[in-house]
Amino acid sequence: MSTEQPENDPFRKPPPSEPPPQQPSAGSPYGEPAPGSGSPYGSGSPYGGAPPPPPPGGGDPYGGSPYGHAGGATDPLAGMPPLASRGKRLLARIIDALIVGIPVGVVMGLIAGFEYDNNSANFWQGGVYTIVYFLYEGVLLSKSGQTIGKKVMNIRVAMLRDGSVPAGSPGWSRAAVYQLPTLVPCLGSLFWLVNVLFCTWDQPYRQCLHDKAAKTVAVAAS
pLDDT attached to residue 17: 60
pLDDT attached to residue 18: 60
What is the per-residue pLDDT across 168-195, written as a single tens digit (0 to 9) for each?
A: 999 999 999 999 999 998 899 999 999 9
pLDDT attached to residue 53: 44
3-state SS of the chain is CCCCCCCCCCCCCCCCCCCCCCCCCCCCCCCCCCCCCCECCECCCCCCCCCCCCCCCCCCCCCCCCCCCCCCCCCCCCCCCCECCHHHHHHHHHHHHHHHHHHHHHHHHHHHCCCCCCHHHHHHHHHHHHHHHHHHHHHHHHHHCCCHHHHHCCEEEEECCCCCCCCCHHHHHHHHHHHHHHHCCCHHHHHHHHHHHHHHCCCCCCCCHHHHHHCEEEEECC
pLDDT attached to residue 145: 97
Q: Give the residue ranges of the chain where pLDDT is below 50.
A: 1, 25, 27-59, 65-71
Of the candidates 197, 199, 196, 207, the one whose C-alpha atom is nearest the C-alpha of residue 80 is 207
Distance CA 61, CA 2 (A): 92
pLDDT attached to residue 19: 58
CA quadruple 201, 206, 208, 212: dihedral positive or negative?
negative
Residue 216 falls in which region: left (phi positive, over 0), alpha (psi -120 to 50) or beta:
beta
Of the candidates 180, 186, 168, 167, the one whose C-alpha atom is nearest the C-alpha of residue 209 is 180
